[in-house]
Amino acid sequence: MELSNEVFISVDVETSGPIPGEYSMLSIGACLVDTPETTFECTLKPLNRNVDPDALAVTGFSLEDLERRGIEPHQAMTEFGAWVKSACGEGDVPVFVGLNAPFDWSFINYYFHRFHGENPFGFTALDIKAYYMGVMNCSWRNTRSSVMAEHLHPMQKGNHNAVQDAIYQAELFRLARKARQKGE
């Protein structure tokens, strides 16, 4: 049996609320974990006017502005799907990597199925928080990005810009993998 190459892709989303379908995905940021300068970024038109004010405040977006300048969800998912495919060679498996992956993956999965017909990641979502918890043998409370940063000393920082957050969490994942190899 031939092993396929796994291509780790860090993905972050900004949304208007806690669940896909009822709330909108407002932006997607992604990068290749091992070559983080290879990025994807887009902002989307909202599906509706539903908003959690706290979630929207974190993003810095306004629904009115995104209605004017965001791209249609179908186009966004088509472009993102093409980017994921171009990042992978023949037989490679794209692996979704996220910091709190269940949240981000739920929006990406919903949007891919609704607007693109399929999710190129399938069900391959890797959560950095869970990975870090296993590597460090720590509590869930100690998987916050601020705690990880104190231990791993990343150069990047998160700022709720989806592509910058994808780059930041890619670095956290690389550093956690390095710590595992060192046996920290």
- The Cα angle at residue 41 between residues 39 and 44, in degrees rounded to 5: 165
Which class in CATH covers the domain with range 6-182? Answer: alpha beta
**pTM value surpassing 0.85:** yes
Reading the chain (184 residues) residue by residue, the pLDDT tens digits are 455 799 999 999 999 999 999 999 999 999 999 999 999 999 999 999 999 999 999 999 999 999 999 999 999 999 999 999 999 989 999 999 999 999 999 999 999 999 999 999 999 899 999 999 999 999 999 999 999 999 999 898 989 999 999 999 999 999 999 988 876 5
Q: How far apart are CA 100 and CA 87, in angstroms?
A: 23
| Helix residue ranges per DSSP H, the chain | 53-59, 63-69, 73-87, 101-115, 128-136, 145-152, 162-182
Residues marked as catalytic? 160
Q: How far apart are CA 36 and CA 171, in angstroms?
A: 8
